[in-house]
Amino acid sequence: MTALAGENIAFIGLGLMGRPMALNLEKAGAKLTVTTRNPETLNMFEDLGIETAPTPADAAANADIVIICVADTDAVENVLMGEDGVLDGLEEDTIVIDMGTTGVDATRRFADAIEDAGGEWLDAPVSGGTTGAQNGTLSIMVGGEADIFQRVERIFRVMGNRVTHVGQAGAGQIAKAANQMIVGITIAAVAESFSMAEEAGVDIASLREALTGGFADSTILQQHGKRMIERNFEPGGKARTQRKDLYQALEFSESDLGLELPMTRLTMELFDELIDMGGGDLDHSALIKVYEED
């Protein structure tokens, strides 16, 4: 597969999501240089014959495109602006793409810094979990200049099957905030309805089957509902990450827009309970445990 032949890409961050995303780019023929904090992961990529770099600056130095997929806003800032960060190795006209879930205000600040250094910026957070990352079926929401999006769209389409340009810098992160609000609130709704039904003596596997195909059906019901039934909480998306994303949505909405988001706040508080119970590193579908405790 040579769909990306000729593309020179640095990929920074090889965690649950970044690792399969990077591997899909390599399989598609991209010339890849990777770096991450975990030396074992770097060794794994070296064993596959993929070039590695010791720092983000080294990875970015000869790349045309730099993709960042790290845990949170602070991690993105460190990758970009910390010691041996991307800005230390950035060449003019390099396109920097943040594919993590990052605060909106910080994203706009990062975009300005990259553009001031002569580069181009896109924020392109994803939805679809580790399954989507492995299968190349992520949904990708892109903010930034339309012509820069068009330049790299074929790269996105190796990693995702629904790729949408939603506006200027920061718009991708606003779309992701909306996504995470819907995901978190729907997980809570499924967990709460399952808890009610089970308490009333209804088999929740049968309930899920009955709801599938009706107005209550959703990817959350199908995938996360199944996890709840099977007690499979191996993380596709961690509960603490879901909580972080809900907090970012609240922070942006309240401070920048003056909007209250009561359902989002309540859902975040439920995830706080799960984290306090020791479930922060479980899949976010483990929220059902909060109802079982009650």
Choice among 27, 31, 176, 244 that is catalytic: 176
Q: Please say whether the beta carbons of 5 and 31 come within 8 A.
A: no
Contact present, 193 and 169 (Cβ < 8 Å)? no
Nearest-5° Cα angle at 168, 162 to 170:
85
Contact between 285 and 187 under an 8 Å Cβ cutoff? The reply is yes
Q: How far apart are CA 119 and CA 10, in angstroms?
A: 14
Helix (H) or strand (E) holding 13: none
Residues 122 and 153 sit within 8 Å (Cβ to Cβ): no
Helix-strand-coil percent breakdown of the chain, rounded to 5?
Answer: 55, 15, 30
CA gap 1, 229 in Å, rounded: 38
Cα distances from 166 to residues 61, 149, 157, 163, in angstroms, run 29, 10, 16, 10
Look up 289 and say whether it is catalytic: no
For 81-103, b where at least 16 C-beta lie within 10 A, e where not — what string?
ebebbbbbbbeeebbbbbbbbbb
Angle at 286 between CA 282 and CA 289, to 5 degrees: 125
**Distance in angstroms (rounded) separating the CA atoms of residues 114 and 260:** 32
Instruction: Tell me the catalytic residues.
Output: 176
